[in-house]
Amino acid sequence: MKPCNDVLVVDDDLDMVEVMELILHDAGYPTRTALNGKQALDAVAQAMPALILLDMLMPVMNGWEFARDFRARYGREVPIVVATAAEHVHSRGDAIDADDVLPKPFEVSDLLRLVARYVPSPQPAPSY
Amino acid sequence: MSDRAGDVVPGGTDPTALPDLTHRAYSAHRIAATVTAVFATAGVSWVFITDILLYRLTRDQVLIARVETTKGWLFISLASLLLYAVTFRSSARLDRVRRLTAAAVESIGDGVLLLGRNRTIAYANPAAARLLRCPSKVLVGMDASEFSRRFRVSYPSGALVPPDQYVSQRVYDEGGPLRYKAILHPPGGHDVVISVTAAGVRLQVGEPSTWVVSVMHDITAADRLDRIRDQFFAAAAHSLKTPVAIIKADVQALFPTETPADARVAASVARQCDRIDRMVQNLLVLARAHSQTLELRPSAMELRPLIERISGESTWSHRHDLHTEVTGALPLHADPDRLALAIRNLLYEASRLSPADSRLTLMAHLEGDRIAVGVRYQALPWHDDVGETYGEYDDIGIGRSVAQTIAESHGGSLTSEDSGSERTSWLHLPGDAGAHA
């Protein structure tokens, strides 16, 4: 499998996927998207991303199931950041042994700071 | 109307009249002494008066002897009748009280278990038998260990309740009444959620309990409704937060490219998104607190990064000059999300109730073994009329109530302190001084 230096956004809400993709793209990060855990597993099978931004409540395959399958197949090779509007975001992150959490709604600056922590920025990010 | 002849208590006492169970009756000694005194006085009077009359009427010794014998028999007969009447009346009263008490306990809709001095079940009312799906005669004589084996009593968390931790056992030693919520798993049936209250029965204050009354109230339906309501609120909160998150991200994405005026509008939209998000979280906490289902996910944490994160949020510096004063390491065991919500609520209250451009100070320091988190602000003159102006259920009132709930659920408190025109809201939380040692 070829490694890829992009960010994989996994969220079932198309508007959320679109705005995160827009923000990350503007900041210079190549981005791929998936609408559920199953699509995300297919995406990582093609190319391993540098970071996964993972929603938890999704149809077909939710965030917990994705994280369990992903960790079983690939270990801790790629950091996972839980991005969710659900309650107890920190304990949800702990439940899947996530590397970080991003509670929704989030500040764009927080999103970019988190991504920059795990993915080297290819170009200076605009200041939000 | 049916003939209630079966309810008529021997002796003619009105069966519908309730016995006086609430006041202390005359003592048994006093009643016995009164009856004995009346009997002795009447007997002596009888002997004395009839003897005087007899000796005035005749000197015939044979006649006197016969009359004395007749008097003796008459006295025995009257005394026997009197004894019968007194005993009958007392027994009838006792029987009536016993029957009324038994009928009252048997008609109670909640399950009632009566435990004796040996800590086993001495009595189970029909509702208890129905609740436990077990005949009363099987329950009688059952101890806590056998009860645990048969009904697998657990806490709502799923952990089994050790038999010695049943409130019906603890109340022998701790006094009471004691109350808890538990789940029964009767064999061959659905689980039953119960609220149990146990109280010791003492004949004298200070004596150990000789009996224990344990009342089991079936709250399965109410508990299910609470769960549905919780799920609804959680789903509604999630559904509301997602579009708010998208709107906020969208408007922030406009910042770098639009004009300063647009940027101001976008910043305002972002702040209002944060406000809606905070209100949704507050309503969720408030609903769960009211249904006693508020859950904390505490973990060992250091307060300083949380304070720095919150103080860095643009909402607070928009119209105010926010300063932070954090002293030393502040380790504590708390739910970071709930605690952040409480602090944001106090900052929001301060920002609403202080003049624009005034100074807000977010403070945190150790006070003995407790951590104090304070928000100081310059109070507006009409500050004290907030309740009347906005009402209890304005977002300020709800926010403060939620902050207090969160503080208290952590074992802490929320207080206010006035100093001239300045007011400080203080959250005091138990520290975790040994955590990082």
pLDDT for B432 beyond 70? yes
Q: A105 and B277 in contact by Cβ < 8 A? A: yes
* DSSP SS3 for A58: coil
Interface residue of B246, B254, B344 to substitute, partner A, most A CBs within 10 Å: B246
Q: State residue B308's pLDDT score.
A: 93
Interface residue of B257, B281, B297 to substitute, partner A, most A CBs within 10 Å: B297
Most confident of the ranges B11-15, B155-159, B391-395: B155-159
pLDDT category at A91 given cuts 50, 70, 90 is confident
* E strand map for B327-369: 331-334, 359-367
Give the closest of A91, A104, A111 to B242, CB-based: A104
Percentage of the residues of chain B whose pLDDT score is greater than 70: 89
DSSP structural state of residue A36: S
pLDDT for B92 beyond 60? yes
Q: Kindly list the residues from chain A whose CB atom is less than 8 angstroms away from the CB atom of residue B238.
A: 57, 85-86
DSSP structural state of residue B209: P
Q: State residue B214's pLDDT score.
A: 94
Strand pairing report for B422-430 and B413-419: antiparallel
Residue B90 CB burial class (10 angstroms; 0-12, 13-18, ≥19): middle
Stretch B310-332: mean pLDDT, rounded? 89
Range of lowest pLDDT (A20-24, A51-55, B352-356): B352-356
Q: B337 and A15 in contact by Cβ < 8 A? A: no
Whether the Cβ atoms of residue B429 and residue B332 lie closer than 8 Å to each other:
yes
Task: Show the tokens assigned to B334.
Answer: 């708390």
Stretch A45-59: mean pLDDT, rounded? 92
DSSP structural state of residue B190: -
Cα-based distances in Å from B350 to A5, A118, B286, B416: 45, 37, 20, 12
DSSP structural state of residue B154: B
C-alpha span between B130 and B133 (Å, rounded): 5
Q: State residue B10's pLDDT score.
A: 41
Specify the CATH number for B111-218; select among 3.90.850.10, 3.90.650.10, 3.40.50.1110, 3.30.450.20.
3.30.450.20
- List A80's β-bridge partners, or say none: A52
Cα-based distances in Å from B414 to B7, B57, B348, B392, B425: 59, 96, 15, 17, 7
Would the pTM of this model clear 0.80, i.e. be above it? no
H helical segments located in B353-394: 386-390
Domain B220-295, CATH: 1.10.287
C-alpha span between A86 and B106 (Å, rounded): 48
Q: State residue B391's pLDDT score.
A: 59
* DSSP SS3 for A56: coil
pLDDT for B3 beyond 50? no
Stretch B373-387: mean pLDDT, rounded? 79
* DSSP SS3 for B133: coil
User: What does the radius of gyration of chain B's CA atoms come to, in whole angstroms?
Assistant: 37
Amino acid letter for position B49: I
Stretch B175-191: mean pLDDT, rounded? 86
Cα-based distances in Å from B284 to B230, B409, B414: 8, 15, 20
- The region, left, alpha or beta by phi > 0 then psi within -120 to 50, assigned to residue A97 is left
Measured CB to CB, residues of chain A less than 8 Å from chain B are 13, 15-16, 19-20, 22-23, 26, 57, 85-91, 94, 103-108, 111, 126-128
Q: B250 and A13 in contact by Cβ < 8 A? A: no
- List B121's β-bridge partners, or say none: B115
C-alpha span between B89 and B340 (Å, rounded): 71
Q: State residue B269's pLDDT score.
A: 85
Q: State residue B353's pLDDT score.
A: 87
Stretch B359-369: mean pLDDT, rounded? 93
Stretch B333-362: mean pLDDT, rounded? 92
CATH topology for B298-437 is Heat Shock Protein 90 (3.30.565)
C-alpha span between B426 and B346 (Å, rounded): 9
Give the closest of B234, B253, B297 to A22, CB-based: B253
Give the closest of A19, A22, A87 to B284, CB-based: A87
Task: Show the tokens assigned to B2.
Answer: 């049916």
Stretch A65-88: mean pLDDT, rounded? 90
Q: State residue B46's pLDDT score.
A: 86
Condensed to tens digits (0 to 9), the pLDDT of residues B39-51 reads 889 889 988 898 8
Annotated domain spans of chain A: 2-118
Condensed to tens digits (0 to 9), the pLDDT of residues B409-420 reads 999 999 999 988
pLDDT for B224 beyond 70? yes
- Fold match, B111-218 / B220-295: no
Give the closest of A22, A91, A105 to B248, CB-based: A105
Supply φ then ψ for residue B185, to 5 degrees: -125, 75
Distance from CA of B337 to the nearest CA of A (A): 6
Condensed to tens digits (0 to 9), the pLDDT of residues B101-134 reads 889 888 999 999 999 989 999 999 999 999 999 9
Q: State residue B437's pLDDT score.
A: 35
CATH topology for A2-118 is Rossmann fold (3.40.50)
Amino acid letter for position A63: G
pLDDT category at B381 given cuts 50, 70, 90 is confident
User: What does the radius of gyration of chain A's CA atoms come to, in whole angstroms?
Assistant: 13
Q: B336 and A90 in contact by Cβ < 8 A? A: yes
Task: Show the tokens assigned to B198.
Answer: 């146990």
In Å, how far from its chain's centre is CA B361?
38
Residue burial B315-340, b: 16+ Cβ < 10 Å; e: rest: bbeeebebeeebeeebbbbbbbbbbb
Annotated domain spans of chain B: 5-107, 111-218, 220-295, 298-437
Better-scored residue on pLDDT, B14 or B406: B406
* DSSP SS3 for B119: coil
C-alpha span between B80 and B195 (Å, rounded): 54
C-alpha span between B267 and B275 (Å, rounded): 12
Nearest to B311 by CA among B343, B334, B274, B339: B343
Q: B249 and A19 in contact by Cβ < 8 A? A: yes
pLDDT category at A88 given cuts 50, 70, 90 is confident
Supply φ then ψ for residue B236, to 5 degrees: -65, -40
Give the closest of B241, B256, B274 to A128, CB-based: B256
The CA angle A128-A63-A49, to the nearest 5 degrees, is 60
pLDDT for A127 beyond 80? no
The whole-chain average pLDDT of chain A stands at 87
Q: What dihedral angle (degrees, nearest 10) is formed by the CA atoms of B6, B11, B15, B21? A: -130
C-alpha span between B101 and B20 (Å, rounded): 12
Task: Show the tokens assigned to B151.
Answer: 């009904």
